[in-house]
Structure 1
Amino acid sequence: MKIYRLHKKQNLPITVDEAWEFLSSPKNLKTITPDYMSFKILSGAEKPMYPGQIIQYIVTPVLGIKTKWVTEITHVMDKKYFVDEQRYGPYALWHHKHFIHPIKGGVEMEDIIDYKIPLGFLGRLAHPLLVKPKLDEIFEYRQKKLIELFGEFNG
C-alpha cells in the first residue's frame, strides 16, 4: 500500500486570529478552490468548527465528474491546528493537517496531507499523471487566492 504525502507552506502578513477565522470556516473553502471544480457544500458548515463535525461537499475534480466528498473534523486546537479526514470520497485515505504558526510579520500556514489512491496498480499509475499534478494545481490556486485576499508576505 503506497501512501503519498503533500506538504505545503505559505506565509501571510496577517495575525493568527485572522488566519484562524478564515481557515477554520468550512464556508471559505469555496473561495480558495478553483471555480472549475464547482465546489459546493451540501451540509455541516452551519456551525464553527468542532471535533466530530461532518461536512458534505460536491466537487468536480476531473473530466466534469461530480464527486461527493464527506469529511470529518477529527481534531481542533484553537488557533493552532485542525485535522480533516475523508469519510467518503475519491481517495482510499485522506488525512489533512492544517497548522498555523506565528512568525515575525505574520503567520506560516502549513498543510500536510497523507493520502492513498484507490484502484491499486492503476491508482499508482494515475498518481504522477493525474492526481499529483491536480493537487499541486489546486494548492497553487489556493496560494495565489490567499495572497489576493490577504497580501504578499514580505517578512
Structure 2
Amino acid sequence: MIYEIHTRQKLPISKQEAWDFLSDPKNLKKIMPDEMGFEIISGADRKMFTGQLLQYKVTPLPGFKTNWVTEITHVEKPDYFVDIQLYGPYALWHHKHFIHEIEGGVEIEDLVHYKIPFGILGRMMHPILVKPKLNEIFKAREAKMVEKFGQY
C-alpha cells in the first residue's frame, strides 16, 4: 500500500527567498526536529541540482539510527524539486516540493508518497508509529519555518 502526506504552509517571504532556502541542502538540518539527530554525511556542498545525491544519518524512531540516501530527480527553479529515497527506512519515498507565489508571500506545498517495508507488520505499524511520527516531523518543520520567516 502506498501512503500520502500532503501539507501546505504559507510564509510572508518572496518566492526567491523561499527557493534560496529550500534549494540549499544544508538547510534541511535547520528544519528537522532536533530529536531526529539529522546529520548530513555528503552531497550538500552545492545548491540543489538534478542528479544530486545526498547522504545523511537520521534517527526516525528512538534507538533506530539509519543511513538515508536521496537523489534529487527534478529541479525546476524556482517552482519545485523532487527527491526520492535510494536507500533508507522506507520501501518507497517520493517527495515533491512546490513553491507557489501568493499575495503577500508564498505557499510551500509538500506531496509525499511512501511505502512501509515489512509487509503486513509494516502496515499494522503505520497508524500506530509511522504516520504519527511523520505528522510530528512535518509539524515541527512548519514551526521552524515560522520561527525563521515569520507567520503569514
Q: TM-score, normalised by structure 1?
A: 0.97
Q: In structure 2, list runs of 5 or more residues that go unmatched.
A: none
Instruction: Tell me the amino acid that sits aligned with residue 115 of structure 1.
Output: Y
One-letter amino acid matched to 2:44: A
Structure 1 unaligned regions, length at least 5: none
% identity of equivalent residues: 63
Give the superposition deviation at 1:61: 1.0
Off by >3 Å, runs of 4+ in structure 1? none
Aligned length: 152
**CA RMSD across the alignment:** 0.5
- For 1:14, the equivalent position in structure 2 comes to 13
2:112 aligned with 1:113: yes
Show the counterpart of 1:95.
94
Q: Does 2:71 correspond to 1:72?
A: yes
The residue type equivalent to 2:60 in the other structure is: P
Q: Secondary structure of the residue that 2:35 maps to in structure 1?
A: helix
Measure, in 2, the Cα distance between the counterparts of 1:83 and 1:145.
21
Map 1:30-49 onto structure 2 (within 5 A): 30-49=29-48
Shift in Å, 1:75: 0.1
AA aligned to 2:97 is: H
Q: TM-score, normalised by structure 2?
A: 0.99
CA distance in 1, matches of 2:43, 2:100: 27
CA distance in 2, matches of 1:103, 1:34: 27
Tell me the secondary structure at the aligned position of residue 86 of structure 1: strand
The one-letter code matched in structure 1 to 2:12 is: P
